[in-house]
Amino acid sequence: MESKKADLHIHSHYSDSDLSIQEIFNQAKEKGINSLAITDHDTTEGTEEAINLSKTYGIEFIEGIELSAEYNNAEIHILGYFIDSANKSLVKALGNVKDLRKERLIKMAEKINSLGGKVDIDELISQINEKVATRLHLALYMVGKRQVTSIWEAFRKYLSFGRPAYIARIKFSVKEAITLIKEAGGLAVLAHPHFLPSKEWIAKFRQWGLDGIEVKYPRYTPSMIEQFSQIAEKFELLKSGGSDSHGSYKEFTGVGEVWIPYSWVEKLKNAKRNLLYKENI
């Protein structure tokens, strides 16, 4: 029986979790995780710290990211593994997204103020600091100022799709997201495929260079795991998965509570080595 375990879908306080990089490694160690990827939304800010902590904790670290994309008006998330976070194309694209996310959040704050709320935009932006701006940061600000009683109330009343302060954000196309990950030397993996309106889209994503699909994810039943395993086999995709932990902000799962066998990581690593071989031919 295989003993080594991996969690390849984790978020930190650099995007929309309250977990520091060190807290992630602490929890991973407690859960017996041998390999992990931090896949923050549209940012790789925690990479250097994670590389250093990987040595301290004796846990393998895989450089990762989760890019927000869109296809046929549906939001699709693409995970990138083994990326080069210093890649110039990636750095430029993420810088642009970071600026656009901040602009979007400011406009949402202005909408809340027009509805009678009281958001000090300078204070809000200073709280975000160098992190990627998300609706969660605005919700947390409102909770802190006692304008709402919870994060969930902020989203339900103001910030969710269709609510009065909601503004859609700029996203990559799925093809752009996959291409960007590949240009940064990484493998592109479809996140939480149960959200796809049509599983037939995966064929198109595969044509664009998709390498893998999440097969293990919070609340996946054995039949769902089997379903996505069959899809992986059908389209010759690698298998991945993880907890999608967001700390206390999404309480349904913690670091290492959903994990994949290390043999899946080995297959991902072999695919990465094959990419490097082809590049050097």
What's the chain's Rg over C-alpha atoms? Answer: 19
pLDDT at 274: 86
Quick check: helix, strand or coil at residue 119? coil
pLDDT at 278: 60
CA atoms of 125 and 112, how far apart (whole Å): 15
Quick check: helix, strand or coil at residue 233? helix
pLDDT at 130: 84
> Candidates 3.40.50.960, 3.20.20.140, 3.40.800.20, 3.50.30.50; correct CATH number of 5-93+170-280?
3.20.20.140
- pLDDT by residue for the chain (281 residues), tens only, comes to 468 999 999 999 999 899 999 999 999 999 999 999 999 999 999 999 999 999 999 999 999 999 999 999 888 999 999 999 999 999 999 999 999 999 999 999 999 999 999 999 999 999 998 888 999 999 999 999 999 999 999 999 999 989 999 998 778 999 999 999 999 999 999 999 999 999 999 999 999 999 999 999 999 999 999 999 999 999 999 999 999 999 988 766 899 999 999 999 999 999 999 876 566 55
pLDDT at 29: 98
pLDDT at 225: 98
pLDDT at 250: 73
Domain boundaries, the chain: 5-93+170-280, 101-159
Q: H or E segment at 188?
A: strand 187-190
- Count helices and strands in the chain by DSSP H and E runs: 10, 9
